[in-house]
Amino acid sequence: MRLIKDLYGLREEPLLKLSPFERRRGLFNLKTGQLRSSRDKFSHNHGWYNCFGQKIGWGDLADFDVKEIINGLEDDEIFITVGERESYWDFVSFNKTVNEKQRMFPIGVADYANIDVTYVDPTEADPGINYVAANARWIFEKGVVYSLFPPSSGMIGDIPIQEITVKELVKKMKKYCKMK
């Protein structure tokens, strides 16, 4: 299986001292955190998932990325995108505060100011099949693009889009992962 959890590097690699943004491009010529121009953009900051509902990376996708993915997928692979809010922000908490002076910031930072501290729920990287299927935006199989809510034209550029239901997607994900 090529589409493994954290394929494109979601977190810093301490041994290599590389942030996700410094990594080289990988499978399908994708890279975590990649940006695409608005003219070419197919999706913005989507999380990318495998059939197990595990995050493999995130970033913008352009039409040419989609073509590379659907032409490069093997017969037993599925690549799913979930919007930025559902793939990241729904797992972030902002309700924890600390006293800034306790954080030992350098002089010049306002004393005793409360600041928000974010916490990312660990399930963000592995929300599971049902969560990913219910929140999927784009589903890619070899040579095919699906959507739960396809555009009225049925096309994006020259790429035909087929409609799929959540139930059908769950079934496909389980089939690809050989889960019964």
**Tokens at 55, concatenated:** 């995050």
**Smallest Cα–Cα separation from 3: which of 48, 50, 46?**
50
Q: Is the pLDDT of residue 142 over 70?
A: yes
d(CA 37, CA 44): 10
pLDDT confidence of residue 10 = 66
Q: What is the mean pLDDT of residues 8-21?
A: 57
Cβ partners under 8 Å of residue 175, min gap 6 = none
pLDDT confidence of residue 118 = 65
**Tokens at 127, concatenated:** 């929300």
pLDDT confidence of residue 101 = 47
Higher pLDDT, 180 or 69: 69
Cα separations (Å) of 18 from 21, 56, 179? 8, 17, 35
* 88-92, 93-97, 108-112: the lowest-pLDDT one: 108-112
